[in-house]
Amino acid sequence: MVAYIKNLAVEKKRWLSRDSFSDGVALCQTIPGAIAMQSAAYVGLKARGFRGAAVAYIGFGIPAFVFMLVLSVLYKYGQQASLTVSLFDGLRALVVALMANAAVSFGATTIKNWWGAPVVAAAAVALFFGVNPIYVILVAALVGLGLPSRAGVTDKDAVGYESSSERTSFLRQGLLLLAVSAVVMGVLYAFGRQLFDLAWTMLRVDLFAFGGGFASVPLMQHEVVEVHHWVESQVFMDGIAMGQVTPGPISITATFVGYLVAGPAGAVVATVAIYLLSFTLLVLVEPYFDRFKRNRYFRKAITGVLLSFVGLIVAVTVRLGMDVAWETWTVLLAVAAFVALRLKVDVIWVVLAGGVISVAIGLL
């Protein structure tokens, strides 16, 4: 999706330069949130300021939200049908393959030194034995401060943002968005406590989901399955599978959870909350990012955080795998899906093919 956004914004529309877009992707990889969503917002921000960012963000997210809402309704009222049961038996096995592939891919780009592996292993063990993933992330950031620095850019290379007026404008608009969000949260707390709990949960997931959409899965799984008990683990896996056939990031699973918890209103609240803080951070941080990315302490803390997410994804893969009713055909399906993903087959084709195979087996 990022490559498509680049082609549209840089080559076709010429809204910004290649270098500017590359800087934006680096920013989106550093702050929490779904990278594709953030990249779309960054393009809007550079092309038309705050309003452009908001329009791009909403426009990019609406198709995924609509698809997921429709799938959630169909799931709620059709999950007991025999073919549906067979379908999701197969899709749950695919989810394990998806998570395993994410762990391998994320690890390959994140573990660059020998000292990265112990951090990954410690994070995986901590989450597997029930430690709150937010605590794991915070400890990993502190551990990252003690990790060896890479040679190269130092703090002295940091520079300020070129336009102080633009910086002030983004800061004011970002703070206004935070203020409005706080008021809305207050209204939900007073008149809709269930919606407030749903929003507060998704806001926390969004705030700590560094490294892209898959990074939200361990956090969301911990909150909605283990803390609030809103859905069972198998149902959560079904939501992840459906999230992979929608035109958006995997964090759109929040729509599915929100719908099952509180109907259409819950779907809207959960979807807005899962993307709100990361969007606000993009607006607030973008003018200062050049300074942040050259600060060695910031880089080291982010390195620790990203290493912890590799471990968290590994742990969630194992825990989700324990919840699958494994049979010979589901094992073979999961292995085939993992191999296909490693061979760079598009994930949507893997999920659709797995769904067709699962339904066919259900008909036998």
Q: Rounded distance, CA 185 to CA 197, Å?
A: 10
Low-confidence residues in the chain, pLDDT < 70: 79-83, 149-166
Query: Would you say 60 and 248 are in contact if contact means Cβ atoms under 8 Å apart?
Result: yes
pTM: 0.80
Contacts of 203 (CB under 8 A, 6+ apart): 273, 274, 276, 277
pLDDT of residue 57: 93
Nearest to 198 by CA among 275, 133, 270: 270
Residue (of 40, 20, 64, 63) closest to 282 by Cα position: 40
Residue partners of 201: CB distance under 8 A and separation at least 6 = 223, 224, 227, 228, 273
Please, which residues have CB within 8 angstroms of residue 56's CB and are 6 or more apart in sequence? 40, 41, 43, 44, 45
Q: Per the domain annotation, does 158 fall within a domain?
A: no
Taking phi first (over 0 means left), then psi (-120 to 50 degrees means alpha), and beta for anything else, what does residue 344 get?
A: left
- Determine contact, residues 84/321, Cβ cutoff 8 Å: no
* Angstrom distance (rounded) from CA 262 to CA 272: 14
Residue identified by tokens 């997921």 is 68
Note whether residue 359 is domain-resident: yes
Please enumerate in sequence order all residues whose Cβ is within 8 A of that of 225, keeping only pairs 6 or more positions apart, or say none: 231, 232, 233, 236
Task: Say whether 15 sits in a helix, a strand or coil.
Answer: coil
Total number of domains constituting the chain: 1
Q: What's the distance, CA 299 to chain centroid?
A: 20
The domain of 221 spans 2-75+83-153+163-363
- Which position has the token pair 């840089």? 10
Tens of pLDDT, residues 222-265: 999 999 999 999 899 888 888 877 777 888 999 999 999 999 99
User: Tell me, what's the pLDDT at 164?
Assistant: 66
DSSP, collapsed to helix, strand or coil, labels residue 17 as: coil
**Per-residue model confidence (pLDDT) at position 34:** 86
**Residues 336, 320: Cα–Cα separation, whole Å:** 18
Q: What is the pLDDT of residue 216?
A: 86
> Mind giving me the DSSP string for 18-39?
HHHHHHHHHHHHHSSS-HHHHH
